[in-house]
Amino acid sequence: RSPRRHASGSRAPMDWLKSVHFYRKVPADLTEATLAGGTLSLLSAIAMAYLFFSNFAAFLQVETLTSVRLDESTDQKIQINFNVTLHMLPCRFASVDIADIMGTHLQNVSTNLIKTRISAAGVPIGKAAPKPRVVSHAVARTENAPKVSPELDEEDLHGAVTDHKLVLVNFYAPWCPWSRRLQPVWEEAFANVLNEPFAADVLMAKADCTGKGEVLCRNQHIHAFPTIRVFRHGATISHESYVGDRTHQAFESFLANNVHDDDHAEAVRSGDSEMNEQGEGCAIRGVVLVNRVPGNFHISAHSKAHSFQPGMLNMSHSVGRMTFGRPLSASMMRLLSDEVAAAHDSLAGTVHVAAGQNMTLEHYLKVVHTSQLFGSRQINTYQYTANSNYYQDGTSLPSAVFSYDLSPMQVLVRRQRKSFASFLTQLCAILGGVFTVTGLLDGIVYHGSATLKRKMQVGKLI
């Protein structure tokens, strides 16, 4: 009797579990298979398989969620990283200036910038000085200096360089104040040189770029006034520019020291002259810190010893890089979403050509602070849109302008994967729904066909 009581006690939990069975089975001999039911079952199996794999693929993908809030950055300044190449502006005249609506105006910024001289073919030919040399100017010793320096045109230049070992040509414009300041000093210095033993081997000439020497100036690619070119040993095209002081002693010493030199090497080493290439340009790269207010930085021609004629300046340029904020490493760039990465450097690789004379090329940059979130990790960067506009700026000097405006909003980008619980819930809902709907359709088809058969048997179907 004791073993029986033990057996009945152990069966009680099993019987209780059977009583709560939700899916009780119907014996197979009490079920009926139909052709329509089999077709519906096959279609439902295909539908469930398709939905399963499509939802599994969606589960493996990473979702990008974007939200917007007020910018919480407390930084007073923002860093601009750029690499811009001016194809037709020499480095000695290229000036980076910064201005904003708060009244800030910085001219010829050189801190954290590197200027590289490039040839017309875009090949680097050497680094340029961060700031141009300060040139000393002399005052005329007499009120009306005699004009002993000859005026040259294209034809006269050939005879001048043929007859002399060393020729200095002052390319000037009568409207230029620096040219007017140099003219009497130039005449007096040449008058002094005529008394030297080497006077027959040298010549200090001049060319009016607005009159008789206009064609000569254009062929010599003169950008600024006055420009002093050095012609040696009969060459009619010179790439050597005198960049020393504009004093009587400086001119006389230069001629005395170089009249018997075979080339320009010594003059370049001393800093009195500089070698230039035809069509020389300038690549400027580096970083500038600006206030977090609307403003611009622009690149234009500037010199404390020259004047420029607007129609002779060409501000065509290409942008290698233009980003805001701290530079991101390659590994950090790979973590950014495609949309953020595409707008991180919108101007990169673009080329902008000045189609006419005195053409200013301006770019309007709308900058938005963007944070990419990865759980507890965060990458802060900036993305921007760029619109470019080219226009003629009257009598002002043309420039390449980059105007920026920072949005007061901040974009938060979060990348996350769907949770497994969510995937499982969605999968059960889909598969269960397909199974239930298929069962309803099977019931409708089965009972509908059975009703039609009964009506046909009793003769009520017409």
Q: Say how many C-beta atoms besides its own lie within 10 A of residue 316's C-beta.
A: 18
Q: How distant is the alpha carbon of residue 166 from its chain centre? A: 45
Q: Which of 326, 329, 328, 399 is nearest to 362 (CA)?
A: 399
- What is the rounded CA–CA span in Å between residue 458 and residue 401? 94
Between 79 and 238, whose confidence is greater? 79
Task: Indicate the pLDDT class of residue 58, thresholds 50, 70 and 90.
Answer: confident
Between 387 and 73, whose confidence is greater? 387
CA dihedral 42, 44, 49, 52 (to 10 degrees): -170
Q: Which of 216, 199, 309 is nearest to 259 (CA)?
A: 199
Q: Which of 402, 383, 391 is nearest to 319 (CA)?
A: 402
Q: Is the pLDDT of residue 93 over 80?
A: yes
Q: Is the pLDDT of residue 6 over 60?
A: no
Q: Is the pLDDT of residue 344 over 90?
A: yes
Evaluated on CA atoms 240, 243, 246, 247, the torsion sign reads negative
- What is the rounded CA–CA span in Å between residue 41 and residue 361? 69
Task: Indicate the pLDDT class of residue 7, thresholds 50, 70 and 90.
Answer: low
pLDDT digits (tens, 9 = 90+) for 209-268: 999 999 999 888 888 999 999 998 888 888 889 999 999 999 999 999 998 877 778 888
Question: So which residues are the catalytic ones?
Answer: 176
pLDDT digits (tens, 9 = 90+) for 420-432: 888 888 888 888 8
Q: Which of 335, 406, 333 is nearest to 374 (CA)?
A: 335
Q: Is the pLDDT of residue 449 over 80?
A: no
Q: What is the pLDDT of residue 164?
A: 92
How far apart, in Å, are the Cα atoms of 218 and each of 210, 225, 237, 276, 408? 10, 13, 12, 16, 49
Q: What is the pLDDT of residue 218?
A: 87
**Mean pLDDT of all residues in the chain?**
86
| Rg (the chain; Cα; Å) | 42
Compute φ and ψ for 28, nearest 5 degrees.
-65, -30
Q: Is the pLDDT of residue 374 over 70?
A: yes
Q: Is the pLDDT of residue 460 over 60?
A: no
Q: Residue 424: exposed, middle, or buried by beta-carbon count in 10 A (0-12, 13-18, 19+)?
A: exposed
Q: What is the pLDDT of residue 100?
A: 94
Q: What is the pLDDT of residue 23?
A: 61
Evaluated on CA atoms 129, 132, 134, 137, the torsion sign reads positive
Q: Say how many C-beta atoms besides its own lie within 10 A of residue 110's C-beta.
A: 14
Q: Which of 3-17, 203-217, 312-326, 371-385 is the least confident region?
A: 3-17
Q: What is the pLDDT of residue 28?
A: 65
Task: Indicate the pLDDT class of residue 294, thresholds 50, 70 and 90.
Answer: very high
Q: Say how many C-beta atoms besides its own lie within 10 A of residue 126's C-beta.
A: 9
- Tell me the pairing of strands 273-275 and 240-242: antiparallel
| Terminal-residue alpha carbon distance, the chain | 71
- What is the rounded CA–CA span in Å between residue 413 and residue 65? 6
- What is the rounded CA–CA span in Å between residue 154 and residue 89? 24
The answer to whether 295 and 104 are in contact (CB under 8 A) is yes
The answer to whether 406 and 293 are in contact (CB under 8 A) is yes
Q: Is the pLDDT of residue 384 over 90?
A: yes
Q: Is the pLDDT of residue 179 over 60?
A: yes
Max CA pair span of the chain: 148
Q: What is the pLDDT of residue 190?
A: 95
Q: Which of 32-41, 330-339, 348-357, 435-444 is the least confident region?
A: 32-41
The whole-number average pLDDT for the span 333-350 is 90
The whole-number average pLDDT for the span 273-289 is 89
